[in-house]
Structure 1
């Protein structure tokens, strides 16, 4: 049988893909790593199909490895009888907890088949929410910025896990970046915030990201504007 890693999208239930919805409706059990992903899944499957997995709130590597090994065992046992799914917000292959499960299954349960169902990632959802155009030829770097970190270098960056926006903003501004922030974008849980003021997202929240662009960056965009003489002769 197969373990499906299903991307749920950024958090709004109607942004799950058609394929993801079909998998959730056909598998025997759906495992969720957290409260938010579970709330999306409930829109598509009954509570009786949801499997419980325990993930401790700790950074202790030994405890985390033990938790993932136990989770892998539970999911593999479920897949021995029927197809099952493990769901995650965003896309399973982009900054996702699903990577931990897949590595655990590969190591301890190599006979289990794993298939990924892509989801709408914050990498793409942020562009719509913040009104940012990522034009053809753009170089874009993905970085983490937890606890006030402020990576620099690339002309454009998407920063995940911005948990101290004020400190991050001070450093990026000093390095010559214009920064915009988005919190809980396309999520049904919590308040969505889009702002250039870091104090509006000063309260720590794991689901905060930022778009940083070098100040005064030149753009060479294709355009549909034509001068009057060219229009008359067309």
Structure 2
């Protein structure tokens, strides 16, 4: 198994308790650079630093991804390997590209993620700006994902979003709480808990 663990925004004390435990228990820990290594070092000093180049050369990036996947695979096949990544592994990270190669070459390897404090939420704390209304996040490209909080009528919300060009929907209700449920596609319920998040993608 390979687990991508979010390391937070840059402070070793902002790792979650679960992240610290997994780092200590794993057979092997890999990180994408010196900054990530410095974050995991208090918990796992034998972490292996891999090369993930910051370049626009797609062929070179792909070659590095292939090499990194080959190094991680043996550990992920026989036990639990951790890939520690700054921020959250599901937000603007290299993990999705890495797992695509692993799933292609080693479909038997299970891949999971453990969330970390992202730069989006950490920014509000550092800047001292509470966010209490809707906001948008962008890397400069045109958005193709919408995330809506507190969705009490998910079917109705999905129909509205379909009119805006969205076609893929996932609802998570009571995330990490008792009674957590995940709905997708045409299975969206008419009503849901206050603690619900609707993901939509064009």
- Normalised TM-score (structure 1): 0.57
2:88 to 73, 88, 91: 91
Following superposition, the deviation at residue 77 of structure 1 comes to 1.5
- State yes or no: 1:28 paired with 2:27: yes
1-structure distance, mates of 2:137, 2:80: 33
Q: Give RMSD over aligned pairs.
A: 1.7
Aligned partner of 2:56 in structure 1 is 59
1-structure distance, mates of 2:124, 2:90: 19
Aligned partner of 2:182 in structure 1 is none
SS in 2 for 1:143: coil
2-structure distance, mates of 1:58, 1:118: 26
Aligned partner of 1:112 in structure 2 is 109
Following superposition, the deviation at residue 80 of structure 1 comes to 2.0
Following superposition, the deviation at residue 81 of structure 1 comes to 2.4
2-structure distance, mates of 1:56, 1:90: 18
2:33–2:49 CA contact under 8 A, matched in 1: no
2-structure distance, mates of 1:56, 1:128: 30
2:138 to 137, 143, 147: 143
Aligned length: 142
Following superposition, the deviation at residue 108 of structure 1 comes to 2.1
Aligned runs of 1:48-197 on 2, under 5 Å? 50-135=47-132, 138-145=133-140
Following superposition, the deviation at residue 69 of structure 1 comes to 1.2
2-structure distance, mates of 1:123, 1:21: 21
Aligned partner of 1:204 in structure 2 is none
Structure 2: 5+ residue stretches without partners:
143-202
Change (3 A) 1:89 1:127: same
- Normalised TM-score (structure 2): 0.66
SS in 1 for 2:138: strand
Tell me which stretches of 4 or more aligned residues in structure 1 moved more than 3 Å: none
Following superposition, the deviation at residue 76 of structure 1 comes to 1.1
Bigger relative contact order (CA 8 A; separation at least 6): 2
